[in-house]
Amino acid sequence: MKRRIFAGNWKMHLGPDDARQFLKTFLGRYRHESGREVWLFPSAVALEATACATRDRPDVVVGAQNVHWEDHGAYTGELSVPMARAAGARAALVGHSERRHLFGETDQDVARKIRSLLRHQLTPLLCVGEKLDERAQGLTLQVVERQLGALAGLDAASLARIPIAYEPVWAIGTGKNATPRDAALVHAAIRSWLAARGVPARACVVLYGGSVKPDNVKSLISEPEIDGVLVGGASVDPASWAEMVQARPD
């Protein structure tokens, strides 16, 4: 059975009380299906509240939006992987375009975070994608391959644990999105990169992110190359989110 992941990145929305109310509404509407997983990435202050509210739902994975690669130290404002795990996180986003382009996160930073997460038995969800000018220059695949370099040196078993989200930067929060076919071509290239490093096709989970909404999610997941979606703004409304995660491909 195809494994599908529907991941919601709440970004800088929903504090602890709002997160609890969201989950009360969402879980009342959502009916789990085999092979389908919901991943939620709340703000750091709502991480523990979200994990506690989903404690009895193993099909709902809660993760951190960002972590630091060091376990402890003088890093004001940062969240270590052990802290995230203690708060109930089972995963974390790494390499999200907003971290890269607003906060200067480098490919080397991404690589360090991935290894820290794996060391502490949390799952990284690696985000890759090109900016508009890079797309216009035909550099999409080169950019994505460079960003995949953060996984260099990991063995096939470790690589198979890491879902990858292709999120073209020009499509995030803009209302624009790659066509399902455009996204599928990049997804196929990501799968080829993984296959060349020994990852079986059945183990690859590749998501699409970028202005995913209730009115386009069905067409996106209908593409065989797309295993699920990483959703931003549309994931903070519980009714909309419940509709999206229960969408069926054509």
167, 187, 223, 225: the catalytic one is: 167
Q: Which of 37, 68, 96, 98 is catalytic?
A: 96
Is 173's pLDDT higher than 70?
Answer: no
Q: Is 70 a catalytic residue?
A: no
The tens digit of pLDDT for each residue in 105-141 reads 999 999 999 999 999 999 999 999 999 889 889 999 9
Q: What contacts 136, CB < 8 A, 6 or more positions away?
A: none
Q: Kind and range of the H or E element at 184?
A: helix 180-195
Percent of the chain topping pLDDT 70: 98
pLDDT given at position 11: 97
Number of helices and strands in the chain (H, E) = 11, 8
Q: What does the block give as tokens for 53?
A: 């509210």
Name the superfamily (CATH) of residues 4-245: Aldolase class I (3.20.20.70)
* DSSP string covering 225-249: T--EEEESGGGSSHHHHHHHHT---
Active site residue 167: yes
First to last CA, the chain: 16
Task: Say whether pLDDT at 207 is over 90.
Answer: yes
Of the two residues 85 and 184, the one the predictor is more confident about is: 85
The model's pTM:
0.95
Distance CA 215, CA 157 (A): 36
Alpha-carbon torsion 64, 69, 71, 75, what sign? negative
